[in-house]
Structure 1
Amino acid sequence: MITADKREYYQALIDKNTEYEGVFYVGVKTTGVFCRPTCPARKPKFENCEFFENAQQALLASYRPCKRCRPLSHPNQVSELVQKLVEAVEDNPEKRWKDKDFRELSVDASTARRQFKKRFGMTFVEYARARRMGLAMKQIREGEAVIDAQLSTGYESSSGFRDAFSRIMGAAPTMLGYNNILKAAWLDTKLGPMIAIADEESLYLLEFVDRRGLEREVERLRQKTKSAIIPGQTEPIQSIKSELDQYFDGKLTEFKTPLFFLGSPFQRGVWEQLRKIPYGQTISYSGLAAAVGKPSAFRAAANANGANQLAIIIPCHRVINTNGELGGYAGGLTRKKWLINHEAKAIIEHNSAE
């Protein structure tokens, strides 16, 4: 979402503008809840807001529904059954729902499915899974080990946790009616798990699993490519896995895996320029803007840098502030510093060996 949209939505939030009902939801970083635009609660600062196109995105980003504005309820109110199930999930968000759980609440599972699907565009089980997985992602972002997040959200095996994470990215293509299929795989790396998404020819996305907003990135990718995204392997995924292993061992300086860029012409120009930054070297944001022929557009260049969906391969970690400070990095500044030092060390070791 571009900054202009965020500012527009924030003003709508301040004004409690009813015209924006259903257009966006806002997640409040300081409280961990997400709200509708007309929420009567005290308004957060702009920098503490995250904006989402739908409730599922907010859930997957680990936010819980606000109890004041009830963002999962339509302004015309929802049925008592839906309210009961939403409250049941909030009482135990890590619960994995089974048929007996519906019976204990005197709720028909098929009715719950239909009512949730009609109201929110997702079934109750999808809602509960999104809420549970959102909590797991929050734990990972806060520094907990993947195994801890996995166990605390009810997954006894790592494969089960990975499969559940994969399932949030799309149903089977036969159910969605899509002709295009992208496959997603979990890659374990020295700096933590990453997710790779590719078709049979090119890599579309490579991100650290704990990157905030990853779920929305995946959703945008799915929408732009009109594809189903399912767990699996392709040649580009196998290629990048091998290349990442070599990169982290200090034995690879240039990636050869074929890439597919999704972005504006300006963004693609910035990404191509990033790939030209020599291994082990850095450039400033203003220097990056000048390199793409837009010396005054360093903020736009920085935004394009941040929109990069191919971490490490398109080396946005090599862009720093003019004063030598690290600047920003979606994967976290600790990783950025590690990557810069890793490449510098590899060059020193290579030169000393000659």
Structure 2
Amino acid sequence: MLFRLPDHDTLYQALIDRDEAYDGRAFVGVTSTGVFCRLSCPARNPKSENCTFFASVQECLEAGFRPCKRCHPMAPAAAADAAVQRLVSALEQRPEHHWSEGDVVAMGLDPSTVRRAFKRHYGMTFLEMARLTRIRSGFETLSGGGRVIDAQLDAGFDSPSGFRNAFARLLGQPPSSFTGRELLKASWIDTPLGAMIAVSDRHVLHLLEFIDRKALPAELKRLRAHSKGGVGIGREPPTEQAETELAAYFSGQSAAFTVPLKFHGSAFTCEVWRALREIPAGETCSYSDLARTIGRPDATRAVARANGANQLALIVPCHRVIGADGSLTGYGGGLWRKQQLIELERQYAAPARRADHREEIA
């Protein structure tokens, strides 16, 4: 199920179109310059006969190409944007600040350019990212049993209604609705690709999503409907285990997730999710491949819908499913995350590939 590059003409057209859907999946080595680039590189397009396409940075380097200084193919796409990195660093230094477009202008940046860049890389604007960062402080206060007014102040909201509305947009319910007696508990987990919300009971993990996913409030609403005790704020053992395993995953130590899970879906949907968990880290497959894997070759569209309905991001690795032509296609957590996850997981496939290579030599 390893990704296979499309033909030369398809990839060259993607290069001409500066198609970001191939970022992290295909690279071009330009023989006339000795440089390799992303297909979305803003540099002048080379001639087709001077282009050689590769599936990884490693292949480009082994072929003797050096990385482009314009598109920085060895770094995540967002890291190559100086304005984005400058604002992200500023937010990390002042997470409690009420960021505005005036602050962006004061830093010598154009708000409209920044807005487009953040939407492209993160699926949200810088101001939306700043708002979510502030909400985190209030979330942690409530998780520790604090009062709503204390959570509001810790989150840096002057207006109680503003805090309630912002919190409700994130979790689908206002902070005053939590009783402390809920069977399911929602908690905040930080990752290198952004904060996530985990929902567990004492025994299993029910949900793991990036906080900026638009479907999160609807997913939490469905969980509340399934659970008689509702969803509250707090932390249970499965969330602790998920956080530990996520840390190992992002640090390159292990791609194995053993936290007990609860699937909320039809029999077919759950079958697709189980099949997703069988895709090894470092490999990808198409929707049609996945449909054939479960013995339903004519159910490609239904498989795609089940893939999109996944509520356990990373642990049920729907990011490993790509288009038949090798493009990234859709991902609820944002294509920028999908790109980085696939790039990150190359390290997990490398040992197996080296072993295969040694066996061939033997």
Q: Which residue of 2 aligns with 1:142?
A: 124
Calculate percent identity across the aligned residue pairs: 42
In 2, Cα distance between the equivalents of 1:183 and 1:251?
Answer: 28
Q: Is the 1:169–1:230 contact (alpha carbons within 8 Å) kept by the matching residues of 2?
A: no
Q: 1:258 to 1:144 in 2, by over 3 A?
A: same
Amino acid at match of 1:294: R
Q: Which residue of 1 aligns with 2:31?
A: none
Q: 1:242 to 1:212 in 2, by over 3 A?
A: same
Amino acid at match of 1:168: Q
Asked if 1:324 corresponds to 2:310, the answer is no
Equivalent positions of 1:63-212 (< 5 A) are 141-144=123-126, 148-149=130-131, 157-158=154-155, 164=167, 168=173, 171-173=177-179, 181-212=183-214
In 2, Cα distance between the equivalents of 1:236 and 1:204?
Answer: 9
Amino acid at match of 1:218: L
- Shift of residue 314, structure 1, vs aligned partner: 0.2
Q: Which residue of 2 aligns with 1:213?
A: 215
Partner SS state of residue 130, structure 2:
helix
In 2, Cα distance between the equivalents of 1:169 and 1:255?
Answer: 32
In 2, Cα distance between the equivalents of 1:230 and 1:333?
Answer: 30
Q: 1:167 to 1:325 in 2, by over 3 A?
A: closer
- Shift of residue 147, structure 1, vs aligned partner: 6.5
Q: What runs of 5+ residues in structure 1 fail to find an aligned partner?
A: 1-93, 95-139
- Shift of residue 194, structure 1, vs aligned partner: 0.5
Q: 1:148 to 1:258 in 2, by over 3 A?
A: same
Partner SS state of residue 310, structure 2:
coil
Higher RCO, 1 or 2 (CA under 8 Å, sep at least 6)? 2
In 1, Cα distance between the equivalents of 2:174 and 2:222?
Answer: 11
Partner SS state of residue 227, structure 1:
coil
Give TM-score, length-normalised by structure 2: 0.53
Q: 1:245 to 1:151 in 2, by over 3 A?
A: closer
Q: Which residue of 1 aligns with 2:249?
A: 247
Q: Is the 1:187–1:194 contact (alpha carbons within 8 Å) kept by the matching residues of 2?
A: yes
Q: Which residue of 2 aligns with 1:258?
A: 260
Give TM-score, length-normalised by structure 1: 0.54
- Shift of residue 142, structure 1, vs aligned partner: 1.9
Q: 1:278 to 1:228 in 2, by over 3 A?
A: same
Q: Which residue of 1 aligns with 2:339?
A: 337
- Shift of residue 169, structure 1, vs aligned partner: 6.7
1:108-155: CA deviation from partner (whole Å, max 9, x where unpaired) = xxxxxxxxxxxxxxxxxxxxxxxxxxxxxxxx8523267721588895
Q: 1:217 to 1:168 in 2, by over 3 A?
A: same
Equivalent positions of 1:220-235 (< 5 A) are 220-235=222-237
Amino acid at match of 2:204: S
Equivalent positions of 1:272-283 (< 5 A) are 272-283=274-285
Q: Is the 1:167–1:230 contact (alpha carbons within 8 Å) kept by the matching residues of 2?
A: no
Amino acid at match of 1:310: L
- Shift of residue 348, structure 1, vs aligned partner: 2.8
Give the one of 302, 305, 321 matched to 1:303: 305
1:84-122: CA deviation from partner (whole Å, max 9, x where unpaired) = xxxxxxxxxx9xxxxxxxxxxxxxxxxxxxxxxxxxxxx
Q: 1:150 to 1:173 in 2, by over 3 A?
A: closer
Q: Is the 1:306–1:330 contact (alpha carbons within 8 Å) kept by the matching residues of 2?
A: yes
Q: 1:235 to 1:146 in 2, by over 3 A?
A: farther
In 1, Cα distance between the equivalents of 2:187 and 2:174?
Answer: 11
Q: 1:151 to 1:187 in 2, by over 3 A?
A: closer
Amino acid at match of 2:319: H
Q: What runs of 5+ residues in structure 2 fail to find an aligned partner?
A: 1-97, 99-121, 139-151, 158-162
- Please list every run of at least 4 consecutive aligned residues from structure 1 whose deviation after the TM superposition is greater than 6 angstroms: 151-154, 159-163, 349-354
- Shift of residue 292, structure 1, vs aligned partner: 1.1
1:21-49: CA deviation from partner (whole Å, max 9, x where unpaired) = xxxxxxxxxxxxxxxxxxxxxxxxxxxxx
In 2, Cα distance between the equivalents of 1:231 and 1:284?
Answer: 37
Q: Is the 1:181–1:230 contact (alpha carbons within 8 Å) kept by the matching residues of 2?
A: yes
Asked if 1:238 corresponds to 2:253, the answer is no
Amino acid at match of 2:130: D
Q: Is the 2:249–2:255 contact (alpha carbons within 8 Å) kept by the matching residues of 1?
A: yes
Amino acid at match of 2:344: H
Partner SS state of residue 217, structure 2:
helix
In 2, Cα distance between the equivalents of 1:253 and 1:210?
Answer: 23
In 2, Cα distance between the equivalents of 1:337 and 1:147?
Answer: 20
- Shift of residue 157, structure 1, vs aligned partner: 3.1
- Shift of residue 276, structure 1, vs aligned partner: 0.5
Q: 1:263 to 1:147 in 2, by over 3 A?
A: closer
1:39-61: CA deviation from partner (whole Å, max 9, x where unpaired) = xxxxxxxxxxxxxxxxxxxxxxx
Amino acid at match of 2:246: L
In 1, Cα distance between the equivalents of 2:156 and 2:310?
Answer: 28
Report the aligned-residue RMSD. Answer: 3.2
Q: How many residues align?
A: 212
